[in-house]
Structure 1
């Protein structure tokens, strides 16, 4: 089910835990409707959106982590498939957008750390870096967070970036996908396109 990738040499992927708003964000970025739902795990296979005239594709990868009503074996297989997709296409992926739930991410990360487990979000941020894929962290649902700067500082810290978060604005992007407030992400991704000397792709994130 992961073999449907269009033949494109440049790609941006969205990765993240289930129910953090990846599909909603994908809809905001592309104007194209994808399956979304209240229940985690609606997206089980990659959603690709490619522009026929451009050598570029944006991909929403399935969510990983806990999914209500989904067996652990299935959850692990989805996560493995996502990792394999990133490994297989790393050379073509310019940016990996790690989507977090700004309200819940720190608590989830800390809960895993207390159990001496590697949190999924930390694991995938490190994996993107190891694969040579530029990570950009889209901190979604930021409208539901009371102390925005403190929360973003905490997220930066958990991902190994020294606070304050404001020095990482080309990596950390506070957004509200549901409200259509995604400019910070567009700016961060476009900064990475510039760094990769692929300015022509900025039209897709503006």
Structure 2
């Protein structure tokens, strides 16, 4: 089980498969370098970024799903720990950000669905909603996608959100973190913080 969470009553968590760009997004938000690696599964425990004077923390949860060279039981443990972390801190988590790789997410989801499995991404999206956490899906690496609208509609479809994607701008945020293009994400997070009367936290986004 993960340990070492700062004692903060407000939190925004970032979760998703390995190598989808969670740490890059957090670096854009904070200017702080999170542990990243070319090798999936480098992050095995949460990374926390908190402000000493503020009752608020950003959390980078470990990536889940297939990781080359990582045994299946380790992958399952990480996924279970992520779910438990979210469940245990649901009251403090103001927004959950699920990061997808815009280029590969639809194919990965379909591959699992075709095998009769519930894809982790879809499962986590519904889980966040089930525990009452406002959720933003950051569809990253959109610079590698040609048919933006078609791809975002397909992502919405897989998550059970009727297209067109444009009606879900508080939920679906196309970004390219490597190029510093994360405005749709920050705007969506700000909307959810405002809705929860936490305008004091808008300065972080």
TM-score band by shorter chain is: over 0.9
Superposed, 1:34-73 pairs within 5 Å as: 34-73=34-73
Partner Cα separation in structure 2 for residue 142 and residue 5 of structure 1 = 32
Structure 2 runs not aligned, ≥5 long: none
TM-score scaled by structure 2? 0.99
Indicate the residue corresponding to 1:120 in structure 2.
120
Indicate the residue corresponding to 2:12 in structure 1.
12
Q: Residue 199 in 1 paired to residue 199 in 2?
A: yes
Structure 1 residue 127: deviation in Å?
Answer: 0.4
Partner Cα separation in structure 2 for residue 30 and residue 140 of structure 1 = 17
TM-score scaled by structure 1? 0.98
Superposed, 1:1-206 pairs within 5 Å as: 2-205=2-205
Structure 1 residue 34: deviation in Å?
Answer: 1.4
Structure 1 runs not aligned, ≥5 long: none
Structure 1 residue 26: deviation in Å?
Answer: 1.1
Count of matched residue positions in the alignment of Structure 1 and Structure 2 = 205
Structure 1 residue 142: deviation in Å?
Answer: 0.5
Partner Cα separation in structure 2 for residue 28 and residue 78 of structure 1 = 25
Find runs of 4+ consecutive structure 1 residues off by over 6 angstroms.
none
